[in-house]
Amino acid sequence: MSAFAIPTDEQRALRETATAFLAGHANARSGRDSDAALWQTMAELGWPAVLVPEEFGGLGLGIAEAVVLLEEMGRSLTRSPFFSTVALAQPLLLHAATEEACQRWLPGLAEGSATATVIAAAGLSPAFRHEELAIRACRRGDRWELQGCAEQVLDGDGADMAFVVAALEDGVCGLFHVPADTPGLQRSALESWDSTRPQGRWCFDAVPLPLEARIDRPAGFVAGVVHALQLAALLLAAEQVGGAARCLELTVAYTGERRQFGRVIAGFQAVKHRCAQMMVKLETARSALQGALAALELNEQAVASEIAVARVLATEAYRFCAAEAIQLHGGVGFTWEYDPQLHFKRAQWASHWFGDADTWRDAVADGVLGGVTERHQ
C-alpha cells in the first residue's frame, strides 16, 4: 500500500486563494474584453509558473498544484488561456522540445507575458496517428514550408504562438514554433457552443518558416508528445472534477430552496438519491484523479493507464452531474440564466478532447487483454 499524500499547507492555501479569486473574477457570462486582464492577474499570482521548472523561469511546483488550480477553474467556469498555455503547451515543450527551445519559450510562458497553444491532430488525442496530423511541413532549401488547415485550435483566436506537431516525410513528424503574426498565416476565430472555450482556425498555404523554427527533441520526440497530451488529459480531468463538484453544489442548494407540495424538494427521496449518485460519481472520479497523481509522482510505469482511469471517470462524472443538474433544477435548469447549461456545454466539450472515453478504454483494453481494439473511424 502506498498511502496518498495529504494536501500540504501550501496546496490548501493555493486552493483557498484560487476559489476566492476565481469566484470574484467569473467571466463565463461576460464579453472577452476582460480576459487579457484576468490572465495578467493570474500571472501576477504566479499561476502560469507552477509547472515550469526553476531553470526555465518557473516555480517548479508539482502537477498537484496545477490540478488544484484547474479544479477551481472548472468549478468557476473560468475562460482563460491558462489551460492551453499551462496544461498543454508547457508540458509539450518540457517533454518533446529541445533544451534551447525550452530556454527560449518557457520563461515567457511561465511569466505570463505570452500565451501559447498546440496544433496536432484534431481534438488532440494522445492516440493520434501520423496521417491525422492537420499540418504538413516540407523542407525547401534554407527554410521550412507549412501546409494545411487546423480547423479547431484551442484558444486559437488569441494565443500568441502555437507549437505545431506537423507531419514530415512518411511516418515522421516534427515540432515547429509558429508565432501568431507569422506572415502568410490565415487565422480566424470560430464560434463555440461552449463560450468558455474559444477556438480558432489556423490555415497555412505554403507558409515559410526559418530553419530554427523546428524545435523537436531528437530522441523520444513522439513519446514525449504522447506523454504531454496524456498530462493535458489528466489536467482536463481535474477541470472536469471541479465542474462536476460545482454542478452538485448548485443542485443541492437549489433543491434545498425550491418548495413544491409544501416542502423543499431536497426532502424527496427521488431527488436525494440522484444527488447521492452524483456524489458517488464525483468522489470516484476524485479518487481516480488522486490515484493518477500518486502514480505520476512515484514515476510509475503504468501512469498512462492511471490517467485513463481518471479521464474516463471524470468524463462520466461531469456529463452525468451536468445533465442531472439541469434535470433537477427543473424548468429554470433549461434557461440561459442559470449555470447548469454552461456546465453541460463544457462537459460535452471536455468529453471528446484529448481522447474521448472510448479511446482511453481501448488503450486500457489493449493493455489488459492484449491485441488491439479495432475502432470504426
Partner 1 sequence: MNKAMPDEQQFRAEVADWMERHLCGRFAPLRHRGGPGDEMAYPELRREWEAEMAAGGWIGLGWPQAHGGRDLPLALQVAFHEEYARAGGPGRMGHIGETLLAPTLIAHGTPEQQARFLPGIRDGRVFWCQGYSEPGAGSDLAAISTRCWLEDGEWRLRGQKLWTSLAHESEWIFVLARSTPGSVGREGLSFLLVPLDQPGVEIRPIRQMTGEAEFNEVFFDDARTAADCIVGKPGDGWRIAMALLGFERGLSTLGQQMHFAHELQLLVAAARSCGADRDVGVRRRIADAWIGLRALRANALRIFARGENATGPEALVYKYAWSNWHRDLGQLAMDVMGIAGDVPASEDPWRRLQQVFFFSRADTIYAGTNEIQLNIIAERGLGMPKG
**Binding interface with partner 1 (CB under 8 A):** 1-6, 248, 252, 255-256, 264, 266-267, 269, 271-273, 275-277, 279-280, 283-288, 290-291, 294, 297-298, 305-306, 308-309, 312-313, 358, 361-362, 364-365, 368-371, 373-375
| Cβ atoms within 10 Å, residue 214 | 19
When the beta carbons of 260 and 375 are compared against partner 1, the nearer one is 375
In this structure, are residues 223 and 214 in contact, taking their beta carbons and an 8 Å threshold? Answer: no
Cβ at position 91, least distance to partner 1 in Å: 20
- DSSP strands (E only) in 105-235: 116-119, 136-140, 143-154, 161-167, 173-179, 186-190, 199-210
CB of 348 to partner 1, least distance (A): 20
**C-beta of 130: minimal distance to partner 1 in Å?**
23
In this structure, are residues 98 and 54 in contact, taking their beta carbons and an 8 Å threshold? Answer: no
Give whichever of 262 and 370 is closer to partner 1, judged by the CB atom. Answer: 370
| Minimum distance of partner 1 from residue 163's CB (angstroms) | 31
> Taking each helix axis from N to C terminus, what angle separates 340-352 and 221-255, rounded to the nearest 10 degrees?
160
Q: Give the pairing type, strands 199-210 and 186-190.
A: antiparallel
For residue 69, the minimal CB distance to partner 1 (Å) is 20
Half-sphere exposure of 359 (CA within 13 A, CB side): 20
Q: How far apart are CA 163 and CA 359, in angstroms?
A: 24
Q: Strand, helix or coil at 275?
A: helix
CB of 293 to partner 1, least distance (A): 9
Residue (119 or 285) nearer to partner 1, CB: 285
- Residue with smaller CB distance to partner 1, 210 or 267: 267
